[in-house]
Chain A
Amino acid sequence: MHSGIVSPKGIWWKPAGRQERIWVTVALVWSLIMFAMMPLWHYKGGQNPSGVRSRVTPAAYLDRVNRFVADYKVGEENGFPIVEPPPGSEVYLLGRMWQWYPALRLKQGATYMLHLSSLDVNHGFSLYPVNVNLQIVPGYDYALRVVPTRAGDYRIICNEFCGIGHHLMIGKIEVLPTQAAARLEPASTPEELHE
């Protein structure tokens, strides 16, 4: 036998040793298990980045966001409208240099269709502290069904470099706890609350 800098002479296509055969088999099985986990999680798991993906022009998206804000605005904080959409509704959030617009108020356990897009460059939606991260690309509407499983005061950090004000870009999502949600919104169905 020889090292890797020596030219093999004659036929080198020879059967592998026992240990090599075993390791290749084990590694292949592990590879297939890892491969199977992804479709399996689509079927059984609760976190998948599929969503409904479509093209949208920045102008049309801005228009939709403005209508969404006008429909469900409940207050204002630091110059940002606070918008409280009803459970089950379509929620429109936009990223632009350098803000997330508007601030959202959601209910724990309710399902929302969260639309994300950008008016200018790529942005990164990073929800703190649950660490959910999604890419926001201008010209594309990324709509994901989300269920805030825990109440609390969340932040949206931008984690895609978007210019000199990148580190100023922070948004807010407030998730009201189930009891408060139930008190404020008696019309909510039990299914929605316990999903």
Chain B
Amino acid sequence: MSNATAAPAWPFRTCPVTGLRVHRSVDALIKVNAVAAIVAFLVGVIAAILIVLTRWQAVHLLPAQWYYRLVTAHGLNMLIFFIIFFEMAILYFTGPVLLNSRLPTPKLGWLAWGLMVVGALTVDYYVFSGQADVMFTSYVPLMAHPGYYVGIILFAVGALIVVGLFFATLVVARREHTYEGSVPLVVFGALTAAIIAVITLVHGAAIYIPTLLWSLGYMNVDPEVYRLVFWALGHQSQQINVAAMVSVWYLMGGLTLGAMVLNEKVSRAAFGLYILFIGLASAHHLLVDPGVGPAWKVWNTSYAMYLAVLGSMIHGFTVPAGMELGMRVRGYTKGLFEWLRRAPWSDPGFSATFLSLVIFGFLGGVTGVVIGTEQINIIAHNTLRVPGHFHATVVGGTALSFMGLTYYLIPIIFRKQVRLLGWARIQPYLFAIGIVIVSMSMIFLGILGVPRRHWDISFSFAPFKQEFSPLTDVFMATLGIGGLLAATGALIYILVAVLSVFVGKPLTAADIQRGKAAVPQGILKLPPQVHGEAESAAAHRAGTPGTVVLVAIFLTVFVLYYFTNWKVLSLVWKIG
């Protein structure tokens, strides 16, 4: 930050908020990737509304074929296109922008974006024209049109190029001395995501290229090998999301309330645990599979003795504790929770970040570890508990944190004021409440044995009668209501973003200096990013008691939920 002293020459500009030097080509690439992300998000949201209104048995909107088609489309547009386009924007932001650097070969960035857009359009063409009703997972031997696999491969190649550009930026920035010391923690977190992305995309190539050849009739693909390698892509890409989201937590904590890094070593080591162990989670999907044995399952599903979970639990402490410390140093020291009460709850950048942290930890993380336990998976595999878990991690966690970041990218990168700022302020709450209801409804339905990805659980035309507990009707209705709430929150987000970007009032440095602009509060008055060594060290020694209480509650919930599930498991048929 301190490096941007003199006014930089074209093609750079100085960011009036952070003082960072921004390369124009980076501005443009962040913009186009963010816009592509939001378009994919809109497609995913429309699909989500129709899916929810179909599973709500009382409404049962779509015919079977379109239900399955839209589940496929929803998965791909949300989990792949929206998230990865947004992560590309994050890599451009955390690489060149935060490091004050130029972007080497911006043309490659445009090529990558083009490949990704063509790939995404190709996939959506084959899905919506009914030539790829295979779900996000496309388990062999369920076959899609070869063009579908080609689309995925093009998209993945584009993403890999952007990751390469990020690495190149690190080299260039270091060589050109655009920053002093080590890269900031947020960049380190993005580097973690980028490294995991390479491992993920290599697995993607290792499975989609053979599958493409299989769909063309040139070779065979074993269904169990497909599941193993596919999930090294499918699950691992969720770990890119985790690493990117945690980086965004650190970033937004700093921008919205001046959160401190308690200890660089601890936070970076936690990211290191992700790199080393998080890739093993392909096993989460094979726990009740016939292809692999118990030792393999136990070791891999636990990320080698839960060391990646340990990484997340460390961030789960250091992120809120860093926020608490930042606030305490600024004088909010009363009691356990003044720092939290007086946090900028009307700043959508902060509320989205904190809600994301809570939903990811309490709901997503805990349920994920529990259903990813080898034996407990017997009572969870492929029931609605699984989407219940990942809607808390990837939607309530990752997507929500990206929404918070968007409200800051609009002024910082697009240099526009935020339209409908009042709506933007309530949007994170609406979305969070909706997705928590969705997730919990799915979890209860899964506990009642309701399968995921299923058009009609009344089994109207099936050979045997099947009646679920009447409670399922209640939870199906809450799932519907929660889904519509979350979709409303999502549509408000899209509306705010689109209006701000395309017809928003420009934001100038003068607007910020006068303190008069429709932007989140951290933009108008950036909290201090550096504190005096003496006062902050003293505050650190005094500790962060509020966070200690929060993590103690978290651990209690975790332990209770974990052992309750073992108890429930012990009641089912003996099996082994």
A-to-B contact residues, CB < 8 Å: 1-10, 12-14, 16-20, 23-24, 26-28, 30-32, 34-35, 37-39, 41-42, 45-51, 53, 78-80, 99, 116-117, 120-122, 124, 126-142, 144-150, 155, 157-164, 166-172, 195
Q: Are A34 and B262 in contact (CB under 8 A)?
A: no
Q: Are B313 and A27 in contact (CB under 8 A)?
A: yes
Q: Are A159 and B454 in contact (CB under 8 A)?
A: yes
Give every chain B residue within 8 A of A26 (Cβ-Cβ): 555
B195 part of interface (Cβ distance < 8 Å)? no
Inter-chain CA distance A19–B321, complex, in Å, is 10
Q: Are B302 and A34 in contact (CB under 8 A)?
A: yes
Q: Are A166 and B369 in contact (CB under 8 A)?
A: no
B573 part of interface (Cβ distance < 8 Å)? yes
Report the minimal beta-carbon distance from A164 to chain B, rounded to whole angstroms: 6
Question: Given A46-B575, A131-B383, A170-B462, 19 other A-B contacts at CB below 8 A?
Answer: A1-B260, A3-B250, A19-B543, A20-B321, A27-B310, A34-B562, A35-B306, A47-B570, A124-B451, A132-B379, A140-B224, A146-B575, A150-B573, A159-B382, A159-B383, A163-B142, A164-B64, A166-B453, A169-B462
Report the minimal beta-carbon distance from A118 to chain B, rounded to whole angstroms: 9
Give every chain A residue within 8 A of B314 (Cβ-Cβ): 23-24, 27
Most chain A C-beta atoms within 10 Å of own C-beta, residue among B259, B289, B298, B309 = B289
Give every chain B residue within 8 A of A162 (Cβ-Cβ): 142
Inter-chain CA distance A195–B573, complex, in Å, is 12
B422 part of interface (Cβ distance < 8 Å)? no
Find B317's partner among A20, A38, A157 (CB 8 Å cutoff).
Answer: A20
Return the CB mask of B268-300 against A: 1 if under 8 Å, else 0: 000000000000000000111111111001100
Report the minimal beta-carbon distance from A11 to chain B, rounded to whole angstroms: 10
Q: Are A170 and B382 in contact (CB under 8 A)?
A: no
Q: Are A146 and B574 in contact (CB under 8 A)?
A: yes
Inter-chain CA distance A135–B224, complex, in Å, is 10
Closest to A169 in B: B462
Q: Are A144 and B68 in contact (CB under 8 A)?
A: no
Find A122's partner among B223, B293, B377, B548 (CB 8 Å cutoff).
Answer: B223
Closest to A145 in B: B576
Inter-chain CA distance A47–B453, complex, in Å, is 26
Give every chain B residue within 8 A of A195 (Cβ-Cβ): 574
Report the minimal beta-carbon distance from A158 to chain B, rounded to whole angstroms: 7
Find A51's partner among B142, B531, B541, B576 (CB 8 Å cutoff).
Answer: B576
Inter-chain CA distance A1–B254, complex, in Å, is 12
Most chain B C-beta atoms within 10 Å of own C-beta, residue among A32, A99, A160 = A160
Find B375's partner among A20, A31, A45 (CB 8 Å cutoff).
Answer: A45
Q: Are A5 and B533 in contact (CB under 8 A)?
A: no
A30 with B305: in contact, given A5-B255, A124-B382, A159-B382 (CB under 8 Å)?
A: no
- Chain B positions 35-67 with a Cβ under 8 Å from a chain A Cβ: 64-65
Find B381's partner among A10, A31, A135, A169 (CB 8 Å cutoff).
Answer: A135
Find A20's partner among B227, B305, B318, B459 (CB 8 Å cutoff).
Answer: B318
Return the CB mask of B357-395 against A: 1 if under 8 Å, else 0: 000000000000100011101111111000000000000
